[in-house]
Amino acid sequence: MNIADLRKSYEKAELNENASHADPLQQFEQWLQEAIASEVPEPNAMTLATVASNLRPSTRVVLIKGYDERGIVWYTNYASQKGQELAGNPFAALQFHWVELERVVRIEGRVEKVSDEESDAYFHSRPLDSRIGAWASPQSQVIEGRTLLVTNAAKYAAQFMLKPPRPPHWGGYRLVPDQWQFWQGRKSRLHDRLRYTQNGDQWLRERLAP
């Protein structure tokens, strides 16, 4: 089959100004909870886009671990590629794509590290093997093979036993949104697309052409 011939008609729902929330965080929460309730695969997965100092963008999938009026939170290795890129350019974009619901949410803003207390609390809530894994993996670095990871995991498991501390190179980031976009697939490619941008203490809600 010719890949250019693949087609889908989007007809599940609609998104309009009257039925959407004035606050984008409330709109996001509604859609996220609906994705969870619908049991779509990994509703908490989001694509994170960062830009390096040479202006080359890169993306990867991470998992949202919290959200409130302060922003969207995830956790990772600060020494990873994304960590290094955020250190040089603290702006990023996130995207949720709930395929089964024919919905996309895009979020842009400045990124900051969460507090040590927040990082500690989340780290110690993780399963033991995940906490050991944070020590075992030199994320984004070239390694000779999987044996290194297994060896490191065994070493740190023996060293820390059941109480590994949070690594100094590991913790949380928070994206503080200054723009949101909500996309709902519609028939005939006449999709619904609402953008929220900051306007002082308020959010300006506008419809964009799809």
**Which residues are known catalytic residues?**
189
Pairwise CA distance, residues 171 & 182, whole Å = 29
Rounded to an integer, what distance in angstroms lies between the CA atom of residue 171 and that of residue 162? 19
In order, the DSSP letters of 45-113 are EEEEEEE-TTS-EEEEEEE--EEETTEEEEEEETTSHHHHHHHH--EEEEEEEEGGGTEEEEEEEEEEE
To which residue do tokens 């619908």 refer? 38
- β-bridge pairing 57-63 and 45-51: antiparallel
